[in-house]
Structure 1
Amino acid sequence: MTTEEERTKAATIFDVARLAGVSHQTVSRVLNELPNVRPATRERVQRAIQQLRYIPSPAARALVTRRSRTIGLITTGLPEYGPSTTAVYFNEAARDERYAVIMASLLQSDATALRQAAETLVRQNVEAIVLITSNGAALGLLQSMDLGVPFLGVVSQGNDLHRVSLDQYAGAKRAVRHLIELGHTKIRHVSGPIESMDALERARGWRDLLAENDLVAHDPIVGDWSAASGYAAGRRLLEDDFTAVFCGNDQMALGLIHALTEAGRDVPGAVSVIGFDNIPEAAHFSPPLTTMHQDFAQLGRDAMEVMLAVLTDEAAPNPLLRVPQLVLRASTAPPPA
């Protein structure tokens, strides 16, 4: 079999779309002889069809004209509390609107895995794709793909896309403001991984509020969201001069408190610790953890509400960012005299 024959045999509507430089929906509009396709674009698609000797299937012809009431949902990384809760409530909100959700959960968010996931979802005739991630590279990769369907990111950073998020930056500033109001001036930060958009926004909020109050921001200690990395950060901090720590999430705060108390540092008598997320276990830490509550359930509902608006009107506005709320417990107190 020649190379040309192999290419002809393998040709799909997505191959035609890539060759013509358009979305698969535009190819389907041409196949179905629908209006609203510019003559130059229609001619380019027809040339690609001829070049690839593409023979459309009935399913390909129907990609534009059939409503599936199905949305594709892609999640990346480990099943952390926040993204998992958001995904559950997105599914619930979709079910309330009589939409089905097809999920693709990716541990590794490389370009090949993301493209395969997106194309698999589009082949199942989803009306839109939603991405839940804190990984900036994953967002950039998916945003650069010609999906041919509306796309929404549940992400804390990003331009030129429909997105919903919680205000990580403002939440971090509220957390640090609480420590400053207690009288702390030596406030360290244990951050999430550098590839995380959420972690970057929280670190930015911590740094900016310290600067606004003429306080020194030492380099954060970078963790990986796990309690083990929080414990390691606590061990590193034992030789430093500080009275408070803002942790990028509650799990790292748990590990940090373990390291501090193991070394004889009382929390909050000697060191105050504040977390982020308000996981269900935070109220049962020893001591119970002061933290920033994030309404992940509402975030999932917001994502579905915006997605419905986008399906009706591509210019649908994004909702206002919801700011995490301070939950006062026993892990923070004024610094020692």
Structure 2
Amino acid sequence: MSGIADVARLAGVAKATASRALSGRGYVSAETREKVVAAARQIGYVASPNAASLVTGRTKNVGVIIPFISRWFFSEVLESVEQALLQEGYDMTLYNLPRASPERDRVFEYFLARKRFDGIISVGIALSEPEVDHLHRLGRPLVGIGGPIRGIHTIAIDDTASARLATEHLLSLGHTDIVHIGGSLAAEMDFAVHTKRLAGFSAAMTDAGLSTDGCFCASEFTMPGGYATGLAVLGDPRRRPTAVFAASDEIAFGVIVAARELGIHVPTDLSVIGIDGHPYAEMFRLTTLEQHPRSQGRLAVTSLLAELDSPATPDAAGELTVLPTVLAVRSSTSAPRPRLTS
């Protein structure tokens, strides 16, 4: 079996230099690193993670906790986190965290506590106070995505401001008969995403001097949910709005499909805007507020690894990085068609 001494001999360097080149710890010139890596590849040498851990104190593994895997936003964040970690030579251990349950308790009390991680990334999970205390006691760097968590650097968008901007875009086009199709408040997402997007819509309507009575319809955060709610909202021509602000792009896609099925032209008869920046938005020509989940994932990894290299003084309140959303205007929104007068 080949060892580090064999790699060093083939590369023509000292054993300590070969070790630094392969572990990434300590300075080694780019030319020397390339020679060492090429020598290791030539003889099939793979550094032992356990041995490296004894030297560096690191496992080169990051734990990630996430509530959903199959939903678009979470899968985009997860894929970007994994790619960013791999680029830095780190492995990832994933925990699909359910809501309050014995299974969730076991993740915190056993897996995160007893398995060795260099750090932990929490994606879209509003941790309870005992869970936050438990993670802090582990003494490892923590980064969150989705909303503020006590004592943890977190990354998020401003859901209220984004919803307000989406509504203001419709108002600026001349729409006054606008319906918000959003998530059910009874099935609220963590960090109150449904409530905040409804609040942004309501604030924009109120500031424009418009009533919000009867202007909200609940939907699942899915394309089928948007389709079903869209049929209900658009099916009665006497109460049909001229515009819909959908709380997610997937809801918006469902509304557009429902409109087409009912013979309603988008945007001539109905304007539709969403929030997310889903890859299918271009295909549906959907105007939307893009939130770039992949950028959030990459930033979380960058932040975590930076804290590993230079541990920050704990901030009791926690640092919140609010990323901007970008209005991408496409052909699903336009000025409303003038109403016929008798």
Map of 1:236 onto structure 2:
232
Map of 1:163 onto structure 2:
154
Map of 2:289 onto structure 1:
292
Per-residue deviation, 1:157: 4.6
Where 2:268 maps in the other structure, the secondary structure is coil
Q: Deviations over 1:89-143 (max 9, x none)?
A: 122222333332211124x32332222223313322113221112x54x566743
Contact 2:123 2:145 in 1 (8 A): yes
Q: Deviations over 1:120-178 (max 9, x none)?
A: 13322113221112x54x56674354552443321135454321112222221221111
C-alpha separation in 1, matches of 2:69 and 2:217: 21
When residues 139 and 172 of structure 1 are mapped into structure 2, their CA distance, relative to the original with a 3 A threshold, is farther
Per-residue deviation, 1:314: 4.1
User: 4+ runs of 1 displaced by more than 4 Å?
Assistant: 138-141, 157-160
Find out whether 1:202 has 2:214 as its counterpart. Answer: no
Is there any run of 5+ residues in structure 2 with no aligned partner, and where? 1-49
Give the 5 Å matches for 1:99-114: 99-106=90-97, 108-114=98-104
Indicate which of 71, 83, 87 corresponds to 1:96: 87
Find out whether 1:177 has 2:168 as its counterpart. Answer: yes
Where 1:91 maps in the other structure, the secondary structure is helix
Q: How many residues are paired up? A: 271
Where 1:73 maps in the other structure, the secondary structure is strand
C-alpha separation in 2, matches of 1:193 and 1:159: 26
When residues 143 and 204 of structure 1 are mapped into structure 2, their CA distance, relative to the original with a 3 A threshold, is farther
Map of 1:258 onto structure 2:
257
TM-score by length of 2: 0.71
Contact 1:189 1:220 in 2 (8 A): yes
When residues 70 and 193 of structure 1 are mapped into structure 2, their CA distance, relative to the original with a 3 A threshold, is farther
AA aligned opposite 2:101:
A
Contact 2:274 2:286 in 1 (8 A): yes
Structure 1 stretch displaced more, 226-235 or 310-319: 310-319
Map of 1:132 onto structure 2:
123
Indicate which of 293, 301, 306 corresponds to 2:303: 306
Map of 1:213 onto structure 2:
208
C-alpha separation in 2, matches of 1:94 and 1:294: 21
AA aligned opposite 1:229:
G
Per-residue deviation, 1:309: 4.0
C-alpha separation in 1, matches of 2:134 and 2:176: 46
AA aligned opposite 1:276:
I
When residues 143 and 211 of structure 1 are mapped into structure 2, their CA distance, relative to the original with a 3 A threshold, is farther
Contact 1:278 1:292 in 2 (8 A): yes
Contact 1:156 1:168 in 2 (8 A): no
Is there any run of 5+ residues in structure 1 with no aligned partner, and where? 1-58
AA aligned opposite 1:275:
G
Q: Give RMSD over aligned pairs.
A: 2.6
Structure 1 stretch displaced more, 140-149 or 97-106: 140-149
Structure 1 stretch displaced more, 157-166 or 218-227: 157-166
Per-residue deviation, 1:334: 0.4
When residues 319 and 302 of structure 1 are mapped into structure 2, their CA distance, relative to the original with a 3 A threshold, is farther
AA aligned opposite 1:115:
D
AA aligned opposite 2:254:
G
Per-residue deviation, 1:266: 1.7
